């Protein structure tokens, strides 16, 4: 594998960098840089900019309206967006359900849903986890009973990220309670405005309303909204999860977090010396940087396979485990570098429009980010489950 970028790829990186400098709204850039909460409008403003440029759906082929980029271009784009403090693209439509619709959906479903995703006309959320079915997702109990041309769906989903903004949900439901648990699941697309759906917020440790509980009480869903055959939902779910887990690695965000940590630790002084020169602290920073280099090489190996037509498999679990652990370590080191200064919590600044003096503003989100990063090793399939997948699939254990 050649780890050097080609001249064409370097030129593409410059093009992305120039685009971000010119088109990323300054107010959104600053909110992301300071770790302030983004509104739905902030996300949509930025995604509409990307949509007009034809860069919203970085992983889509040209025949479906994407830019037709290869995996290396997508890697460069993600890395440059993180470095420029661009918002993360809300993944549920463009990066998660869209590939499922492309692979398993009918031509009519592709014609209807894919252009709407490209135009930001639908905000999707994910109806996978349940109170009793998280990492053991195949134990889900939300029922869908066929009634003529509809399914009648009843159950509960939880940890539904940004479900308060969504008008559509892709949902795993049990259509055959007598089949073995993986074989009795189907994949439905559900209009969130349907009668019988209610959304209740879950406030997380950092004080954010990011996730929700969704209750479905005899919700009627057209059979035409099923993706694939009845009972094929587990196949769709596994395909989708490989895309989600690869993205959770967050390589670009980890590199940006490391740059900030090194700058911060070079500025903060401990007994007259920069904190970065303290052997015990420096050792952990160096170890994190080496881990990040190894993660990037592994990521590039997966990209090289994807360039050859391979679909991400258990390697996505490797990326998810190491990427989430590394991002947690970087947030821990950043919090540790600030010490007591990381403790103050300013909700009015993070979630509103109240301003702080520059130094305090730069530190205001550190404690909240540390708390928020605890979730990374849990969602998308807990790291313990991912390690079992790696052991079984890659190591033959």
In sequence order, what DSSP letters do the residues of 102-155 get, joined into one string?
Answer: HHHS-HHHHHHHHHHHHTT---EEEE--BTTBSSSGGG---EEEEETTEEEEEE
CA-to-CA separations, 121 to 57, 114, 166, in angstroms, rounded: 14, 10, 10
CB 256 within 8 A of CB 83: yes
CB 54 within 8 A of CB 67: yes
Strand partners, 189: 170
Helix ranges (H only) for the chain are 7-23, 26-33, 40-53, 71-83, 91, 98-104, 107-118, 233-248, 251-267, 279-307, 315-338, 347-350, 358-363, 366-372, 383-393
The token pair at 249 is 């690695």
Give the residue from 130, 91, 92 showing the smallest Cα distance to 213.
Answer: 130
Contacts by 270-273, CB closer than 8 A, 24 or more apart: none
Torsion of CA 96, 101, 102, 105, to 10 degrees: 160
Strand partners, 157: 214
| Helices 315-338 and 251-267: angle between axes, nearest 10 degrees | 20
- From the list 244, 291, 296, 329, the catalytic residue is 244
* Dihedrals phi, psi of 85, to nearest 5 degrees: 65, 40
CA-to-CA separations, 143 to 95, 134, 197, 302, in angstroms, rounded: 26, 16, 14, 37
Q: Let me know how long the chain is.
A: 397
Known catalytic residue: 244?
yes
CB 142 within 8 A of CB 188: no
Residue 185 region by backbone torsions, left for phi larger than 0, else alpha for psi between -120 and 50, else beta: beta
CB 129 within 8 A of CB 159: yes
Active site residues: 244
């Amino acid at each position: 594998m050649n780890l050097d970028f080609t001249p064409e790829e370097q030129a593409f990186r410059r093009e992305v960098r120039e685009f971000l400098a010119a088109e990323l709204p300054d107010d959104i850039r600053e909110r992301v840089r300071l770790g302030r909460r983004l509104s739905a409008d902030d996300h949509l403003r930025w995604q509409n900019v990307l949509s007009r440029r034809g860069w919203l759906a970085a992983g889509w082929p040209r025949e479906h309206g994407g830019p037709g980029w290869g995996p290396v271009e997508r890697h460069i784009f993600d890395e440059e967006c993180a470095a420029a403090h661009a918002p993360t693209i809300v993944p549920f439509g463009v990066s998660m359900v869209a590939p499922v619709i492309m692979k398993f959906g009918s031509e009519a479903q592709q014609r209807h849903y894919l252009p709407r995703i490209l135009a930001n006309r639908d905000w999707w959320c994910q109806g996978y986890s349940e109170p009793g079915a998280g990492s053991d997702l195949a134990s889900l109990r939300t029922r869908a009973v066929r009634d003529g041309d509809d399914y009648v769906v009843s159950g509960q989903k939880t940890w539904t990220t940004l479900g308060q903004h969504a008008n559509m949900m892709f949902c795993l439901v049990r259509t055959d309670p007598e089949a073995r648990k993986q074989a009795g699941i189907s994949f439905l697309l559900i209009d969130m405005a349907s009668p019988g759906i209610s959304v209740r917020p879950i406030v997380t440790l950092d004080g954010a309303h990011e996730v929700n509980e969704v209750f479905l009480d005899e919700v009627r869903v057209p059979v035409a909204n099923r993706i694939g055959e009845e009972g094929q939902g587990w196949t769709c779910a596994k395909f989708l999860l490989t895309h989600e887990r690869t993205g959770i690695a967050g390589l670009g965000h980890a590199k940006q977090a490391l740059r900030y940590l090194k700058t911060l630790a070079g500025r903060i002084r401990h007994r007259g010396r920069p904190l970065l020169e303290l052997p015990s602290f420096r050792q952990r920073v160096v170890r994190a940087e080496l881990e990040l280099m190894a993660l990037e090489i592994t990521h590039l190996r997966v990209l090289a396979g994807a360039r050859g037509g391979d679909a991400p498999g258990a390697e996505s679990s490797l990326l998810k485990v190491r990427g989430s652990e590394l991002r947690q370590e970087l947030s821990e080191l950043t919090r540790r570098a600030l010490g007591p200064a990381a403790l103050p919590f300013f909700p009015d600044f993070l979630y509103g429009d109240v301003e702080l003096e520059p130094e305090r503003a730069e530190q205001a989100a550190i404690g909240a980010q540390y708390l928020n990063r605890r979730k990374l090793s849990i969602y998308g399939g807990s790291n313990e489950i991912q390690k079992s997948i790696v052991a079984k699939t890659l190591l033959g254990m």
